[in-house]
Amino acid sequence: MREIAFPGRWALPGGKLEDNETVMEGLKKECKEEVGIEIENKKIYVDDNAFVRPDNQTVKVFCYLVFAKGLEVKLNKDDFDEYQWAGIEEIGEYEVLGMDREKLNKVQKVLNL
């Protein structure tokens, strides 16, 4: 998806967990909210890391590979202006946000590509 906040840059769906929300619930919620896609009830762990924001709050980021139930996208136009399905081998052609680029590289390793 192409981020409105970062013109011309592409990003992966994502967001934060609500209190008492499981990882699977959060993954389902964010995929539905951002791209209108339902996902299967399974995930593959890819990576995690942490960073400290300027307000000194530590943020933990997890990345999972999920499986879409369908391919029809209903993009959240408040946050994104375009989407593109791309094979993992095509990702290098896109200007992807830094952390998402790192995650996509890890996905390639998980998939042994």
- Residues of the chain with pLDDT > 90, as a percent, come to 71
**Model-level pTM?**
0.85
Total domains present in the chain: 1
pLDDT tens digit string along 11-66?
999 999 999 999 999 999 999 999 999 999 999 999 999 999 999 999 999 999 99
Give residue 7's identity as a one-letter amino acid code: P
Per-chain mean pLDDT for the chain? 91
DSSP codes, 9-53 = -B------PPTT--HHHHHHHHHHHHH---EEEEEEEEEEEEEE-
Q: Which domain holds residue 99?
A: 2-110
CATH number at residue 62: 3.90.79.10
